Amino acid sequence: MEHKNKFLRNLFIILVFIFLYLPIAVLVIYSFNKAKTNIVFTGFTTKWYTELFKNRDLLEAFINTIIIAVTSTVTSTVIGTTAAVGLYKYKFLGKNFVNKLLYIPIIIPEIVLGIALLSVYTLMNLNLGMFTLILSHIAFSIPFVITSVRSTLSDTTKKIEEAAEDLGASKFKVFKEITLPLIRPGVISGATLAFTLSMDDVVISYFTAGPGSNTLPLKIYSMIKTGITPDVNALTSLMLLTVIIILTISIIYQSRKIRKKVVA
């Protein structure tokens, strides 16, 4: 009976992984497809990896996406981390109300937030472009960063901070030497989440983008009607390879760090 349960559990895990990663595997396979369409695999070729660098519109959209994602991630992480620490440490009138308001951008549909941001930019007479895109991505990323960072704050953190201040440490030194290292996992996870949300956003970008500010998700979305070419698959395969390399380096680094601690 126990053997049967173990077999079923392993089978379930395998099926879950197949469900998650089979579409990605198909995408990578079709990046080597000879045919220009992704309907039938007609043969193996690597030409789309060279054609990719000739597609200026696609590369421009990808570069725009990276610029927006990096800028919005850094800004929202700084603002979100500061806000999370402030909301945790200080008491002020309407604090509970502000805490509840933070969940609204997370809960409401993206299309509502996109229309709202577009209305604000119209009222302010702002021309839609890279600037409005970055502002929009910062706006919807901040609540996710605050939520992530706040989850790492605890009464223990507060007690350690108070002890350090009693011993003569300045508030800046306490934040730098104590608070920041303790909340680092939340900051990193919040920044990663903000970067991911920015990289694959379509709805909000659709309402707040302007001429010359096309992003990769919007570019791919616009190609659905005419057909997505294998050079898009080639680009996404290279992005996947980059992520795998970063994860591998991170795992090796963490393993060595743990090994050093065990030896010490």
Structure-model confidence comparison of residues 24 and 72, the more confident one = 72
DSSP string, 138-155: HHHHHHHHHHHHHTT--H
pLDDT at 156 over 70: no
**Could you tell me the pLDDT band of residue 99, with boundaries at 50, 70 and 90?**
confident
C-alpha distances (whole Å) from 207 to each of 123, 217, 257 are: 14, 13, 45
Hey, what are 172's tokens? Answer: 């800046």
What is residue 44's three-state secondary structure?
strand
pLDDT at 66: 94
What would the pLDDT profile of 66-97 be if each residue is shown by its tens digit? 999 999 999 999 999 999 888 888 787 778 88
What is residue 46's three-state secondary structure?
coil
pLDDT at 198: 92
DSSP string, 164-206: HHHTT--HHHHIIIIIHHHHHHHHHHHHHHHHHHHHT--HHHH
pLDDT at 1: 62
pLDDT at 153: 81
Q: 94-131: buried (b, 16+ CB within 10 Å) or exposed (e) per residue?
A: eeeeeeeebeebeeeebeebbebbbeebeeeeeebebe
What would the pLDDT profile of 101-135 be if each residue is shown by its tens digit? 888 888 888 899 999 999 999 999 988 889 999 99
Average pLDDT, the chain: 86
- Mean pLDDT across 220-233: 82
Answer yes or no: are the C-beta atoms of 231 and 35 closer than 8 Å: no
pLDDT at 207 over 80: yes
pLDDT at 263: 65
pLDDT at 72: 95
C-alpha distances (whole Å) from 157 to each of 166, 172, 182, 183 are: 14, 15, 7, 9
Q: pTM here?
A: 0.85
Measure the CA–CA gap between 114 and 120, rounded to whole angstroms: 10
pLDDT at 2: 65
Structure-model confidence comparison of residues 243 and 35, the more confident one = 243
What is the percent of the chain with per-residue pLDDT over 70, rounded to a whole number?
96
Answer yes or no: are the C-beta atoms of 78 and 141 closer than 8 Å: no
What would the pLDDT profile of 33-66 be if each residue is shown by its tens digit? 887 777 777 888 888 888 888 888 889 999 999 9
pLDDT at 52: 86
**Could you tell me the pLDDT band of residue 264, with boundaries at 50, 70 and 90?**
low
Residue-range domains of the chain with CATH: 48-263 (1.10.3720.10)
Which stretch, 15-19, 29-33, 67-71, 153-157, has highest mean pLDDT?
67-71
Helix (H) / strand (E) containing 217: helix 216-222
